[in-house]
Amino acid sequence: MNERDYSDQIPSNEFSKLTTFLRPLWSRVVGLEITSEACLKQITGLLVPLWIRGDTPNSARSLIIEDLNNYEENGIIRAPFYWNRRKIATRDRFNSFFETLQNLRLHDIILRSWDSPVYHGLAELHLYLCNISCSVKQSKMYNILMKCPKLRFLKIIGVEVTTEPEFLPAPVSLNELDTFCLQPDDSLHHPEEACQILPLIAKGSNSLIMSLELGHGSSDQSFSTLVSDFLSRSNVETLYACNSHHNPIGSIAALLTHMPCLRTLVLSFPNLADGSLETFLSQHRSNPDP
């Protein structure tokens, strides 16, 4: 569903027509994508309960919620599983419906609670600008990763992860993870803090394809340390690194570290002004790996 009504509320007669049309189809729906520039909270709060009530347990595979108008606070919902479940379905039915959910993409959604057990089967998770009015604490991001042990594809874009000095957990083992996309956003107050997710992820069993976007924060020492530490201890086999908006402002120095499993390195619009690439190549020519 793609709703572009800019009024505060969807006219009841229009929504009634939509629900009437969808009612006989719910039993066959395995994925729901809601993209809206207005009334996202209303649309989602009505459609998801109808999906749960009209479908059969263990049938959900994909849920995508995207707020196209991320400047309107009224358009943001807290999280798809934060609603009062008693108004949607019984707890058992609610949980059983989403137990088989494999793909969850939240765009411009504020994360509040991640206590539902329905995330354990997720294979693909996208979190895109999920902290418009608040950052995500490192402990919350850790909790998210802990509840998603079967992740194969993780995409984090523009999510500012704030550190907690007393929070020092053991990294999470995501042994099935094979693709990881991390993109800080220069509009954030501290874009380099997006990389605070890296210490939370342990070395997995699979070889890893990683995509990393550089930006203003990539020249900071904290960014360099976080990225180089992760790359040197991970199974990154293919690394794509690019500068945002074709603007060569980010430093690639943090990427030029020892990566034991690396086979392919792709640099898009790199900033070569600091000579770090030449130094890296020179070192490898004089000290080739055995």
pLDDT tens readout for residues 146-187: 988 899 999 998 888 888 888 888 999 999 999 999 987 665
128 within domain boundaries: no
240, pLDDT greater than 80: yes
Q: Which span out of 71-75, 106-110, 168-172 was modeled with the highest average pLDDT?
A: 168-172
176 close to 213: Cβ distance less than 8 angstroms:
no
Q: 111 pLDDT exceeds 60?
A: no
Q: Which helix (H) or strand (E) holds 236?
A: strand 236-243
Q: At what angle do helices 91-98 and 40-54 cross, to 10 degrees?
A: 90
Q: Letter for the amino acid at 278?
A: E
Higher pLDDT, 287 or 59: 59
| Pair (151, 240) in one structural domain | yes
DSSP characters over 200-214: GB---SS-EEEEEEE
Q: Which of 22-26, 196-200, 206-210 has the lowest mean pLDDT?
A: 22-26
196 and 239 fall within a common domain: yes
Does residue 285 or residue 184 have the better pLDDT?
A: 184
Same domain, 236 and 289: yes
How many distinct structural domains can be found in the chain? Answer: 2
pLDDT band at 76 (very low <50, low <70, confident <90, very high): very low
Average pLDDT over residues 229-251: 78
Average confidence score pLDDT of the chain: 75
Same domain for 176 and 251, yes or no, is yes
Domain shared by 42 and 184, yes or no = no
Are 182 and 107 contained in the same domain?
Answer: no
Q: What is the pLDDT of residue 180?
A: 96
Output b/e per residue, 45-80; b: 16+ Cβ within 10 A: bebbbbbbebbebebbbebbbbbbbbebeebbbebb
| pLDDT, greater one: 116 or 119 | 119
Given a contact cutoff of 8 angstroms between Cβ atoms, the answer to whether 109 and 78 are in contact is yes
Check pLDDT > 70 for residue 214: yes
Q: Which of 34-38, 44-48, 203-207, 267-271 has the highest mean pLDDT?
A: 203-207
For residue 72, pLDDT over 50 is answered with no
pLDDT at site 75: 38
Task: Average the pLDDT over 255-283 and give the result.
Answer: 78
The whole-angstrom distance between residue 169's C-alpha and the CA centroid of its chain comes to: 21
- Angle (CA) 269 124 164, round 5°: 75
Least confident piece of the model among 44-48, 122-126, 202-206, 211-215: 44-48
CA 200 to chain centre: 14
CA 186 remoteness from chain centre: 17
Residue 266, domain member (yes or no): yes
Is residue 121 in some structural domain?
no
Residue 187 has a pLDDT of 59
Question: Does the pLDDT of residue 6 top 50, yes or no?
Answer: no
Same domain, yes or no: 162 and 247: yes
18: containing domain: 1-116
**Residue 37: pLDDT above 50?**
yes
The distance in angstroms from the start CA to the end CA of the chain is 55
Distance of CA 126 to the CA centre of its chain: 3
Do the domain assignments include residue 127?
no
Does residue 122 sit in helix, strand or coil?
coil
**Residue 237 belongs to some domain of the structure:** yes
Q: Do 22 and 55 belong to one domain?
A: yes
Residue 232 lies in a domain: yes
CB 28 within 8 Å of CB 56 = no
Two structure tokens written together for 281: 């190549």
Here the tokens at position 233 are 């201890």
Q: Are residues 199 and 99 in the same domain?
A: no
> Is residue 148 located within the same domain as residue 275?
yes
